[in-house]
Amino acid sequence: MATIAVIGTGYVGLTTGACFAHLGHDVICADIDPDKIERLKNGEIPIVEEGLDRVVAEALAAGKIRFVLGATNASEHAEFHYLCVPTPQGADGSADLSYLEAAAAEIGPTLPKNSVVVNKSTVPVGSTEVVAKFLNRSDVKVVSNPEFLREGTAVQDFLNPDRVVIGASDQEAAIRVAALYSRVRAPIMVTDPVSAETIKYASNAFLATKLSFVNAIATLCEHVGADVNDVTLGMGYDKRIGKEFLKPGPGWGGSCFPKDVAALARIAEDFGYDFTLLREVLAVNEAQFQRTAQKVLDALGPDAQGKKVAAWGLTFKAGTDDLRESPAIEVLQRVSGAGAQVVAYDPAIPSEIPQLPLVQVVSDPLVAAKDADVLVVLTEWPEFKFVDFDQLADQMAGRTVIDGRNLLDRAILKRRNFEVIGIGR
Ligand code: UDX
């Protein structure tokens, strides 16, 4: 087993550190936030991730994980150094590498000889070289090991990945990193750094393209009178298409897809290729936010002023408390901006959020529905399916449901005289 330093304890870094400890390695996680480090030392997990609290607790009890302040306090004792720092989207769409460069410059001088530095954060193509430059250590190898973690299932995705990708120009370094995953049952592919970085972006961009395509098909279904549930079911039987990632919705969001798709379009442009398909994927997504908001506004009638809308769901997807680039927020900004009074409920969001200053957030879906003219479902939380719809009918003033995730049982709703408007059906 190895000693691994993990720099950055966000949802990628904390999951990576905890799971490597679970696999038997000795892990030292570093962050720049002293409060966060203190909380982590006590086993307090600042993010919603299924099973992460258990994996961290086990690792703490077994003495397999430590949390320290500052990257050098982790790196000076380790053989492998995972960079899991944020690479946010810059104003021009390109990825901001300042955190990555700062982390590399900080640990460079004190790295033990023959260390291997590993890029886990999603970084633009060619960043492995950038990190090597800031490390300024000829005896240290830099390897790309992109993450394919989905929020809400990050632990499961780390321990049971579809594949492990390692990008290295030095074969010995690649083999050393591959050995860290010896207890993981998944294909481990080794390629060059640029290809590994491109695999990450291309995978996310393809998934976003698939979603924009299915959202566009849902719009077509509305025009031709088809049922998108049956259309996507029929499509998914084709193994080349697959059943996964074919659910239409209010658009896609999160901390990765929007950032990575814009970054890849920008990377392509910087290298001389005008990736028009990706720009259209982003445009279809923006249009989906607008189309979903328009369904609500159309249901409110000619003037939204003073009308009441109940919104179920604020997070970008169920199973997480993450509001970053949430389609629900995009839709409700438009609805609230048109003058409607919006009351929202989300099981992971306890109170009002700065992104929606005019929107009241309550702690019960039926309270949100009180006197509402329209109900809109924006996040696919399973609990919404089990609300008492008789009570919903009593609470609401209107009888229109805009089901932005095609989540609810429309037969149950129609029996209570609700009109249900879905996405593509
Ligand atoms: C994504 C990638 O899946 C993951 O591999 C990568 O490492 C990080 O980015 P994540 O953003 O956490 O993961 O969530 P994901 O489950 O991919 O959902 C992204 C968005 O697509 C969400 O807004 C979700 O609601 C939406 N979505 C997903 C759909 O609208 N329909 C679907 O069928 C699936």
* Domains recognised in the chain with CATH numbers: 3-191 (3.40.50.720), 192-425 (3.40.50.720)
What distance lies between CA 78 and its chain's CA centroid?
29
Q: What is the whole-number distance in angstroms between the Cα of residue 405 and the centre of ligand 1?
A: 14
- Residue-level pLDDT at 27: 98
User: What was the pLDDT predicted at 94?
Assistant: 75
Neighbouring CB atoms inside 10 A of 331's CB total 28
Q: Is 256 noted as a catalytic residue in this protein?
A: yes
Q: How far apart are CA 6 and CA 305, in angstroms?
A: 51
* Nearest to 142, CA basis, from 162, 121, 117: 117
For residue 387, the model assigns a pLDDT of: 97
What is the torsional sign of CA 259, 87, 275, 198? negative
Rg (CA), the chain: 23
Ligand 1 nearest-atom number relative to CA 244: 33
Among candidate residues 307, 305, 302, 297, the one with its CA nearest the CA of residue 331 = 297
Q: What per-residue confidence (pLDDT) applies to 58?
A: 97
Task: Kindly give, in sequence order, each residue whose CB lies less than 8 Å from that of residue 38, ignoring residues fewer than 6 positions away.
Answer: none
Structure tokens at 130: 């950038």
pTM equals: 0.95
Strand runs labelled E in 110-248:
116-119, 141-144, 164-167, 188-191
In three-state secondary structure terms, 322 is coil
Helices 228-236 and 193-224, packing angle to 10 deg: 140
Of the candidates 19, 29, 221, 256, the residue annotated as catalytic is 256
Residue list, ligand 1 pocket, CB within 6 Å: 147-151, 204, 207, 211, 245-247, 249, 252-254, 256-257, 316-317, 327
CA 255 to ligand 1: nearest atom: 11
DSSP lists the bridge partners of residue 396 as: none
Q: How far apart are CA 305 and CA 295, in angstroms?
A: 16
Low-confidence stretches of the chain (pLDDT beneath 70)? none
Burial of residue 173, with CB atoms counted within 10 A of its CB: 0-12 exposed, 13-18 middle, 19 or more buried: buried
What pLDDT is recorded for position 129? 86
Which pLDDT score is estimated for 333?
A: 98
